[in-house]
Structure 1
Amino acid sequence: MRKDLDGLTITMVYGDKRDIYLAKRLIEINANLLLVGFDRNEVALNFKELKRVQFFQNLIEPAKKTDIFILPIPGVDNQGFVKTTTKNSFQLTQEVVKSFKSHTLILVGIVSPYLLDLKEQHNLNLIETAELNDLSILNSIPSAEGALAKAMELTKITIHNSNSMVIGFGRVGITLARMLKGLGANTFVAARNIEQLARALEMNCHVLDLNDIEKKLQEMDIIFNTVPALILPKERLKLLNKNCVIIDLASAPGGLDYNAADELGIRSYLAPGLPGRVAPITAGNILGTVYPRVIIDYISKGRGGVTNVC
């Protein structure tokens, strides 16, 4: 199996700072990059690296040339506009998609309904990278650390000896619960899956079924939600003590009724995309480890007709 990306042309559309470090890693393994929406000065490439890079402020030109098209982890919204921390406005239109080569592979963290519709209309080669186990597990580290940092900022107590609840016990939930235990928190885990609850119990966490969280909500100092559904409606929020802080790591619109939280005076913070915000170097290096493997694996299996670059 090939070890680098020599011969491949890869388009990257800027989302946040982690993309800078992913770009640097792809250059290291000999990819030719078409960077859309990147600040040339912020990327800070040397003369040798610049030979492999072109900068663009539109999607059409690079779309025509690219073998791999990398969108930011958050992807695009339901009008096709790329989700970015900058003021750039790039829309993934029908015209852009029609410009792709037949073998072009699209990598994106989260597939929106808009992008899924484009995939079905044009038979796009698309990988939703947020569903990859290795990426999700590695990303759970900066996600959990960022959530803890935000909780420390918003509370007036220590994590140590706090009553902290983790709702959901997937990749992020497991890492978060382990860190909370390490910091000395009284850690509660709420989940539906009986195997997840068994694992939480093995980690010496207090466990409860997701349907029974009302029994413990009043005791909580901090709640970390990882479930992308309305887990904390107004009826449940009314049970919380007024000093409770909620850190919501679920993708927008999150897992609680924010209007009700404001009305009740409960501090809450919607915090998706934490890796790129709190640890962009680490998050970018994680992508730089996982994405080349995904691309090389895709090519080695002859998918999408990209066999000519092997």
Structure 2
Amino acid sequence: MLTGVRIVVLGGDARQLEVIRKCAELDATVSVVGFDQLEQVIPGIEHCELEDDVFASADVLVLPVVGCDDQGKVSSSFSNAAIVLKKEHMAALPEHCTVFTGMAKPFLRELCQENGLRLVEVLDRDDIALCNSIPTAEGAIAIAIKETDITIHGSECIVLGIGRTGFTLAKTLQGLGANVRVGIRRNEDAVRATIMGWKPFMTTDLAAQTGEVDLLFNTIPTMIITAQILSRMPQKAVIIDLASAPGGCDFRYADKRGIKALLAPGLPGIVAPKTAGGIIADALIRLLLEEQNAREVKS
């Protein structure tokens, strides 16, 4: 139980609703900012304005998965009001407060460091990222089905990167009957790809691999699908870029060549917000309970 723990949730999308709901069910005191247009009623929560006193008694501050930008702006799907996290807000947080987000930009990291606050980036955790890769893969395949006039079965697919998302995506495509090639950046990944039944190649050789491709999925957050690569791709190909914005594709040149290229970051929050939110909520609650137990042992 989270009895006596005060959690402030600042902005976010539908994923945050699961975090709010699960924390409230465990008897935490939950205050939310940036949810004034929320239509559904979540029992046991308090709607607040963005003021210093909201932060002063917080044990936990929960920011959206994307955190805030480098000006402190926090996005919210449930409010039209501007939400800006300021230095004075962070300074008002108690020293024991833990700040949770999916991924933090330098602005947030610096604020936490300046105020001696613990920052937890949940998407850095393997347990979260691996679970999150499932709705990402399903969402990418849903886009592929919608944007093509062929079946996944029998299609020629390339997945760039076999990290947590790339691995799950390649495995799912394979399960649907696709012919899967994977672009790797380390020689040791070739063995793992071969064992899985995929055809590996080094990403430096990408240009030689794209002559016959139906679907190209990118998970590498750097410019990898360059104009040179695109010039050798068939116009029928569809590119689905899953890397964080601005992605790893030259979208301007893809459009000029008539190749459909789509930037699709953050798919878990779009295609399966309940599942994705539940994954984040469970991790947050697990960490809070671990901290509680550690304090009890010390006392």
TM interval, short-chain normalised: over 0.9
Alpha-carbon deviation of 1:229? 0.8
Contact 2:19-2:280 within 8 A present in 1 as well: yes
Return the alpha-carbon distance in structure 1 between the equivalents of residues 175 and 81 of structure 2: 41
1:1-310 matches, cutoff 5 A:
4-39=1-36, 41-45=38-42, 49-50=43-44, 53-58=45-50, 60-86=52-78, 87-302=80-295
SS at match of 1:173: helix
SS at match of 1:42: coil
Structure 2 residue identity aligned to 1:152: I
Alpha-carbon deviation of 1:59? 5.1
Alpha-carbon deviation of 1:299? 4.2
Alpha-carbon deviation of 1:81? 0.5
Is the alpha carbon distance of 1:84 and 1:232 closer, same or farther for their aligned partners in structure 2, counting shifts above 3 Å? Answer: farther
Contact 2:207-2:228 within 8 A present in 1 as well: no
Return the alpha-carbon distance in structure 1 between the equivalents of residues 40 and 24 of structure 2: 12
SS at match of 2:142: helix
101-110 or 192-201: bigger deviation: 192-201
Task: Normalising by structure 1, report the TM-score.
Answer: 0.91
Structure 1 residue identity aligned to 2:261: S
Unaligned runs of 5+ in 1: none
Return the alpha-carbon distance in structure 1 between the equivalents of residues 123 and 20 of structure 2: 18
SS at match of 2:285: helix
Return the alpha-carbon distance in structure 2 between the equivalents of residues 61 and 237 of structure 1: 53
Return the alpha-carbon distance in structure 2 between the equivalents of residues 24 and 7 of structure 1: 16
Structure 1 residue identity aligned to 2:8: T
Return the alpha-carbon distance in structure 2 between the equivalents of residues 34 and 43 of structure 1: 16
Is the alpha carbon distance of 1:84 and 1:240 closer, same or farther for their aligned partners in structure 2, counting shifts above 3 Å? Answer: farther
Task: Normalising by structure 2, report the TM-score.
Answer: 0.94
SS at match of 1:224: strand
CA RMSD of aligned residues (A): 1.8
SS at match of 2:129: helix
Return the structure number with greater relative CO, CA threshold 8 A, min gap 6: 1
Contact 2:35-2:76 within 8 A present in 1 as well: no
Contact 1:40-1:55 within 8 A present in 2 as well: no
Give CA-to-partner distance per residue, 1:46-89, whole Å, 9 cap, x none: xxx32xx2102315332112100010111111211013345342
132-141 or 78-87: bigger deviation: 78-87
Contact 2:2-2:289 within 8 A present in 1 as well: yes
Contact 2:216-2:238 within 8 A present in 1 as well: yes
Contact 2:123-2:129 within 8 A present in 1 as well: yes
Return the alpha-carbon distance in structure 1 between the equivalents of residues 32 and 23 of structure 2: 12
Contact 2:217-2:240 within 8 A present in 1 as well: yes
Structure 1 residue identity aligned to 2:70: N
Give CA-to-partner distance per residue, 1:148-199, whole Å, 9 cap, x none: 0011111111111111111011111111011000100001111112333222
Return the alpha-carbon distance in structure 2 between the equivalents of residues 207 and 283 of structure 1: 30
Is the alpha carbon distance of 1:296 and 1:82 closer, same or farther for their aligned partners in structure 2, counting shifts above 3 Å? Answer: same
SS at match of 2:67: coil
Return the alpha-carbon distance in structure 2 between the equivalents of residues 121 and 290 of structure 1: 26
Contact 2:157-2:179 within 8 A present in 1 as well: yes
SS at match of 2:153: coil
Contact 2:65-2:101 within 8 A present in 1 as well: yes
Contact 2:34-2:76 within 8 A present in 1 as well: no
Return the alpha-carbon distance in structure 2 between the equivalents of residues 229 and 299 of structure 1: 40
Return the alpha-carbon distance in structure 2 between the equivalents of residues 33 and 120 of structure 1: 25
Structure 1 residue identity aligned to 2:67: G
